[in-house]
């Protein structure tokens, strides 16, 4: 058995509806700025869904050459940019790192959906043997992790855990375990998603999962009694995870420490969460148990909080199951109220929001919250951030297929 080691976060990179730099993301948190607006990626004239959280003002060519971009789906580009940003932020000297000991764990819920749609149309028009020779590598989900690993020449474990909307939290958790158990010294962990396309929007809309609101302030409203579905988001988040002594040896800046990871499965309905919150609760409990803390020490939960009627209700049930009457003392927000739901990238972006907030002594808000729901009677951070020192925070992700993943972060005190 290998010695278990401590794991810290030393780099953050994001591409998101609320900003493409950490400074912009923090400013959005402080100003309760929403990234949700009318869809520009495609013409929504024939769609009931009109709103999404799209990435704005990102020049891919600053990070990726034109030739490579032409051979990537939008989701690959998002993931690679976030990966590059995370390594730049970490201050890592690539000439001094053992690249055989650096892993890449990057997830996506769906992968290259835009490419799949475009090549399907091309095949119908010109014949299927005329589709792009890059169709398969542009569309398959693992290629996001490949592009990041290839860009840096990282030869450690390269994995793409696909657990739907829990995907990037699964990546963070498995990357954490790889370092903790001695298999890696560093892991780039996170997720990317780019599914704001006609097919993606139509698919989620037809299953009644998306909000059809046309008011930007009343579309993504987690835990609000009038919530009616989630708002699609896009982007990517990548965290640099590092073994503590490795980080100290290079005087790395540390954002926080990961001390617990819980992963369970409802093994029930394909999309509907367990109504008693049993297994979502077990994921939180397992993370707390691994972290070696009392549940009363948790100050903040960045909830999955999709703004769908059942998710928010049953996540509330799960939180109460874990914390009992103490749930009233824990600040809770869903930052999907600002970003929309980034599917497989949501956990990574929310982890970044959580860490940046903890470092700055604040708790991010649940914006556009107006009408209390007696079935979601949590200690919601209503509309504006709170000045609050958080020592321990949980970030939850719950995915179709009953996947439940919780990550426990500890504030870094040096």
- Catalytically active residues are 165, 304, 341
Strands 386-387 and 256-265: unpaired
Radius of gyration of the chain, Cα coordinates, nearest whole angstrom: 20
Q: Is 401 in contact with 360 (CB distance < 8 Å)?
A: no
Instruction: Round to whole Å and give the CA distance between 167 and 189.
Output: 10
The helix or strand, by DSSP H or E, that contains position 103, with its residue range, turns out to be: strand 102-107
Is residue 130 helix, strand or coil? helix
Q: How far is CA 111 from CA 74, 77, 180, 267, in A?
A: 9, 11, 28, 24
Q: Is 354 in contact with 393 (CB distance < 8 Å)?
A: yes
Q: Is 365 in contact with 384 (CB distance < 8 Å)?
A: yes
Instruction: Round to whole Å and give the CA distance between 286 and 68.
Output: 42
């Amino acid at each position: 058995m290998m010695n278990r080691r401590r794991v810290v976060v030393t780099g953050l990179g994001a591409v998101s509806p609320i900003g493409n730099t950490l400074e912009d993301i923090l400013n959005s948190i402080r100003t309760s700025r929403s990234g949700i607006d009318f869809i520009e990626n495609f013409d929504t004239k024939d769609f009931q869904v009109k709103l999404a959280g799209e990435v704005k003002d990102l020049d891919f060519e600053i990070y990726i050459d034109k030739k490579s971009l032409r051979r990537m789906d939008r989701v690959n580009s998002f993931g690679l940019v976030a990966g590059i940003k995370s390594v730049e932020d970490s201050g890592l000297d690539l000439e001094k790192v053992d690249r055989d000991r650096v892993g890449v764990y990057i997830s996506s819920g769906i992968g290259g959906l835009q490419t799949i749609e475009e090549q399907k149309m091309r095949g119908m028009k010109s014949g299927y043997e005329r589709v792009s020779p890059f169709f398969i590598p542009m569309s398959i989900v693992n290629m996001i992790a490949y592009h990041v690993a290839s860009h840096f020449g990282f030869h450690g474990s390269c994995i793409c855990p696909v657990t739907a909307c829990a995907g990037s939290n699964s990546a963070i958790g498995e990357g954490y375990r790889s370092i903790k158990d001695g298999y890696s010294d560093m892991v780039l962990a996170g997720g990317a998603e780019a599914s704001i396309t006609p097919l993606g929007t139509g698919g989620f809309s037809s299953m009644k999962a998306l909000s059809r609101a046309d008011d930007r302030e009343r579309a993504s409203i987690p835990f609000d009694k009038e919530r009616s579905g989630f708002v699609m988001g896009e982007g990517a988040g990548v965290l640099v995870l590092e073994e503590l002594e490795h980080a100290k040896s290079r005087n790395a800046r540390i954002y926080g420490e990961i001390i617990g990871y819980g992963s369970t499965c409802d093994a029930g309905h394909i999309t509907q969460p367990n109504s008693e919150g049993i297994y979502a609760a077990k994921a939180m409990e397992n993370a707390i148990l691994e972290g070696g803390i009392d549940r009363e020490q948790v100050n903040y939960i960045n909830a999955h909080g999709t703004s769908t009627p059942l998710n928010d209700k049953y996540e509330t049930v799960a939180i109460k199951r874990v914390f009992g009457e103490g749930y009233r003392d824990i600040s809770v927000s869903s930052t999907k109220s600002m970003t929309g739901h980034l599917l497989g990238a949501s956990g990574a972006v929310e982890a970044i929001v959580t860490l940046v907030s903890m470092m700055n002594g604040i708790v991010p808000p649940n914006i556009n919250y107006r009408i209390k729901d007696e079935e979601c009677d949590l200690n919601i951070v209503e509309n504006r951030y709170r000045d609050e020192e958080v020592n321990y925070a949980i970030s939850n992700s719950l995915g179709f297929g009953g996947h439940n993943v919780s990550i426990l972060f500890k504030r870094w005190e040096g």
